Structure 1
């Protein structure tokens, strides 16, 4: 309002982004501010980003005032101001002496990356397994130093007059261990067996050390085997795929949908793998209908353009037919020959396909296990795409294992089996997760019921009345006819047909196509539909005796419905809980509780708990994984691999990585009135403790401010302690304690500190600083407030830090 329209001639901002030596662009900003007498308004996307931006500005000596909007800014005195406004580009009004500078103008690409992360949540598979989600009272958890106990909730205690929140663990004999929330990086969920079967250790008994030693020994043996496979893969220096950029861009543009962020990430990772000389072995995990097939088609296009042949291995003839049709449609504008190999084909047609494959005249072949037979020969196989690996038997997997040494392998799965999950998390196989649902996709509403005629009839009629279709799954071929007759009596208005794997191929194909074209509206079927054709109008599935099916199967079958924007329903029919096995109850509870979109990977981790983790490379179950939990076993395995790679013998007696202990005797917690939900508080504590960089902590702080409001002082202290721990751990300091009158610094075996600076500190101020041997520095300094204590710690760390050589 204070600016006349005639004076408003906006101009683009100059480049204010960070330059070498000016990490945050502040020098350029200062020079820019001096040119505008009316004032400069800085903007941040959210309240959380505003607080993080303010910290950067204050660190650079800039003190912006906070304003609510543009009118307030213009009406008040000139100077630097800060507000929340999601602007992508800024502008200046030279005639009015005003300018608007968004945070993105200073941080450039970093802000864009942050925005992408905001819309594409962290899908780190390791973090999914390690976090403390779904943790209930009595659940087993692993403390790296004390072993496996039972979680008993969060408890606030006063220690030396300071309020601190603790995680309470109960051990054998009723012993309790109180773990400060700042040390939750030492805690992980126990995964490796179900809750009842998990061991409970006795504190101070040596039991945990023995279990850990046995696990370390096993990890060393497995690591040697892993390295042998690594070495064979590395030795196979294949020819990298070279994809013409223009051709690829044209092929990608023909995709009729918009890629989700996770899908883009997976495609990029696959293409990067294909351009390496080392053979690819990547698992792409994504729910049914989340776009895994498009990832496979992009990979296939890269293979074909590089002059290689591509094989697509599928578990069923129906899926073979569907993929064949999809590939034909997708590659319609390209000179690509695509064939299929399954029992739907005649022997003569199969022989022709095999001959063309051998001569290199077929670019893509899509087939069932027939592709693994000795009679199948390729002229130049470059890429093997495997859909739903868990559907293949041991013998077929052995044949696939032989391929992995010299052929690029891409595995697609909705719920990876425990061993695939293990190998992926152990780094033997790369993993991409597609967890972002397509636009307008709704989650499938899931019910677990006993058989009830009224419920079955209502469920079917609801679907039929909205013009939809129903799958009725009855996985017993001998009684499937009787089940269809029962359903026909319940629903005389419905048109019912039957489909199962023992039908002649042509009859099965005809029934499935008739169902697709809505010639009948209820399909009584076996699990042959698990990987079948997509029927967008089928949005209700009833699974009879769901307790007899595996978790991955249930998830796959549920994914048969809900393929369009309509709400879909899944009814899992099972006998009373007392008649089911304990594992069946857990499977049904897991599938019913996890009905959100994109939870295939979470279900796989539940499967890991229900079925046991299994050895990474063998057929047997690993007692060591059961004894110490999957997370710790993975850590031990990772360390053993690194030691062997460095030419060292993995140390069985070596303690786990020494964690740094920071104690400032100040309130450091998320107050209950700030974050009332105990479960959410626990997850946030774990995320803060596990943050590995200062940037990760800042992003977490931004998220918390956006979700819960400005941080109260105890929460800010908690973040500061987490930041300090990162620094002291990197410097090899094991303990840093500061109280009102001074403190102590305990050094590890090989501290990364400037010894000269430390000696000078003691010599120049002997009344304040004193060395106790080579391991400890004691000091006396009065610090009454939390801010003063944090400032003192930062100053000391700065003084002791090793200076980089000029």
Structure 2
């Protein structure tokens, strides 16, 4: 938290964080969180109650209205959201129960072929990949249909997890349907399958616009006779004329990007075959935990070893800067994305690039083109047909071209943090150093918000940091996708963290989870001296993180974990911190006594 950030106090609502103030009173010294509410009313929250205060995550760029302490508006909003999340939780639990009651196919244990296939993967598995592989196989070996969602950033290994599941299905005598939302993505997956299975007796085909009608007929016949093991394609492969002889596994990439009718068809098909869904939308761990009761999920959060952080340059626009960036990429045999988000001036930009870098081959792409035009352009770009693609934000999702390792974002000041993060992620898909140029007009003064956004992106370049910093509204969208409809409005009214907490409580309560004990609020009024001195932890962000950890402990094992971490990271515990820890122990005892 930084002064000026919006926060949510569970009991008082949305306020403004002013910082931590140390207060001396009756011989004692304690830290308090200073919050501002409507009508410039200030409140001081004892630091041991910091777990009641969360950062407000809402719609980027929109300032929420401060609540008035003591007014009923906050309680009313909170109660409304409570009712909504209970409805959502009930629907999800019903869906889960129906699936658990249906009968599927139990795949046999791994064969020697499976071990050989996995050993042929040219990289070392990350710790996450080892766990997720095991989770998928365990699901497949049960007689209940698998419905697992694998979440992870692009390049973190989701596709390899799908390949292993597909191989296991084929070894078990079943066919596999591999669906992607766009032709270009389907082509990418087809090429990956051909490459990954090339030394194994697996027959692969694909259905897309790039396959001639006569060839499609042959594929459909072979599929119905069981002569094709894996079929890759778009929604074309779930249409009425497609007949699998023995379908056992469906792999779906980015399910949320399919249309409503396709989603309904997929729901029907999922009932008694195994289903593995992949998504690059990051799912925050808190939401992951709350949904564990109702959907099987796996997280891939470890970047591959060879992946390098993207070098990010924030600068005023100049022809010279753009020409140098394009030339240096072309000189190493690479390609460039040039992002310009105004369709009407794309051709002007194309002319300019062709003037300042005459040796470059340039093309354009935008959302007003037909799907077939776009597919052709992306296909030619992927095959190395030209060097520079000038495009609108249409490139934001699902374009995976390892040879593109420079992106130039024109008018970067016009984008939100998560969108800049997403766009920057279009490059850096290989072990080659990638570059992102975030350019703004040198002749205009930028707003404070725009400068702050550009600063965040340039500061947080290390791998995985975007997962924590820049993806907050992506997380909200991810929540919307998982919950079946967009819940953003409800999320914004109480803030993301509280929304997830309410959902978590509703899921556990409605699923009658006997092991779940709702953490009761323990408030203590006592005189003591307790704070984290600067001599122990000087960084205010880390200090706040530790305050949160101490305030959030509910069990003895959590307490011991925090205690060990403090000693390990910062050394012997001073008396002032010891007081805070003693309070945490008292709270644990009070909760036990209820």
The TM-score range, normalised by the shorter chain, is: 0.7 to 0.9
How far apart, CA to CA, are the structure 1 residues paired with 2:228 and 2:56?
49
Instruction: State the match for 1:759 in structure 2.
Output: none
Instruction: State the match for 2:107 in structure 1.
Output: 241
Q: Is the 8 A contact 1:473 1:543 kept in 2?
A: yes
Which among 60, 75, 79 is matched to residue 209 of structure 1?
Answer: 75
How far apart, CA to CA, are the structure 1 residues paired with 2:322 and 2:10?
50
How far apart, CA to CA, are the structure 1 residues paired with 2:568 and 2:519?
34
The structure number with the bigger radius of gyration is: 1
How far apart, CA to CA, are the structure 1 residues paired with 2:221 and 2:336?
42
* Partner secondary structure for residue 158 of structure 1: strand
Within the alignment, does 1:386 sit opposite 2:252 as a pair? Answer: yes
Which among 10, 13, 18 is matched to residue 144 of structure 1?
Answer: 10
Deviations 1:247-268 (A, max 9, x none): 3322221111111122223323
Deviations 1:656-706 (A, max 9, x none): 852224567443321122111211111121122224443344343343334
Instruction: State the match for 2:578 in structure 1.
Output: 716
Q: Is the 8 A contact 1:613 1:630 kept in 2?
A: no
Deviations 1:514-537 (A, max 9, x none): 35xxxx64444564695345334x
Q: 1:195 to 1:222 in 2, by over 3 A?
A: same
Instruction: State the match for 2:474 in structure 1.
Output: 607
Which among 557, 560, 568 is matched to residue 698 of structure 1?
Answer: 560
How far apart, CA to CA, are the structure 2 residues paired with 1:629 and 1:529?
26
Q: 1:147 to 1:548 in 2, by over 3 A?
A: closer
Instruction: State the match for 2:133 in structure 1.
Output: 267
1:608 Cα offset (Å): 4.8
Which among 354, 363, 369 is matched to residue 229 of structure 2?
Answer: 363
How far apart, CA to CA, are the structure 1 residues paired with 2:188 and 2:457?
26
Deviations 1:582-621 (A, max 9, x none): 9999976765554331256444423356x79759656565
Q: How does 1:262-411 map to 2 (within 5 A)?
A: 262-411=128-277
Worse overlay, 638-647 or 327-336: 638-647
Q: How does 1:190-229 map to 2 (within 5 A)?
A: 190-194=56-60, 196-229=62-95
Q: Is the 8 A contact 1:544 1:574 kept in 2?
A: yes
Q: 1:639 to 1:289 in 2, by over 3 A?
A: closer
Q: How does 1:559-598 map to 2 (within 5 A)?
A: 559-573=425-439, 591-592=457-458, 594-598=460-464
Within the alignment, does 1:684 sit opposite 2:546 as a pair? Answer: yes
How far apart, CA to CA, are the structure 1 residues paired with 2:314 and 2:276?
35
Which among 484, 502, 506 is matched to residue 636 of structure 1?
Answer: 502
Q: 1:360 to 1:584 in 2, by over 3 A?
A: farther
How far apart, CA to CA, are the structure 1 residues paired with 2:218 and 2:452?
49
Instruction: State the match for 2:297 in structure 1.
Output: 431
Q: Is the 8 A contact 2:256 2:481 kept in 1?
A: no
Instruction: State the match for 1:512 in structure 2.
Output: 382
Instruction: State the match for 2:360 in structure 1.
Output: 495
Unaligned runs of 5+ in 1: 1-134, 649-655, 733-806
Q: 1:175 to 1:473 in 2, by over 3 A?
A: closer
Q: Is the 8 A contact 2:15 2:36 kept in 1?
A: yes
- Give TM-score scaled by structure 1 length: 0.64
* Partner secondary structure for residue 432 of structure 1: strand
* Partner secondary structure for residue 411 of structure 1: strand
Q: Is the 8 A contact 1:344 1:505 kept in 2?
A: no
Q: CA RMSD in A?
A: 3.8
Q: How many residues align?
A: 583
- Give TM-score scaled by structure 2 length: 0.85
How far apart, CA to CA, are the structure 1 residues paired with 2:269 and 2:415?
31
Which among 110, 118, 126 is matched to residue 252 of structure 1?
Answer: 118
Q: Is the 8 A contact 2:152 2:282 kept in 1?
A: no
Which among 25, 30, 37 is matched to residue 164 of structure 1?
Answer: 30
Q: 1:410 to 1:167 in 2, by over 3 A?
A: farther
Unaligned runs of 5+ in 2: 366-370
Q: Which has the higher contact order (CA 8 A, sep 6+)?
A: 2
Q: Is the 8 A contact 2:413 2:451 kept in 1?
A: yes
Worse overlay, 144-153 or 695-704: 695-704
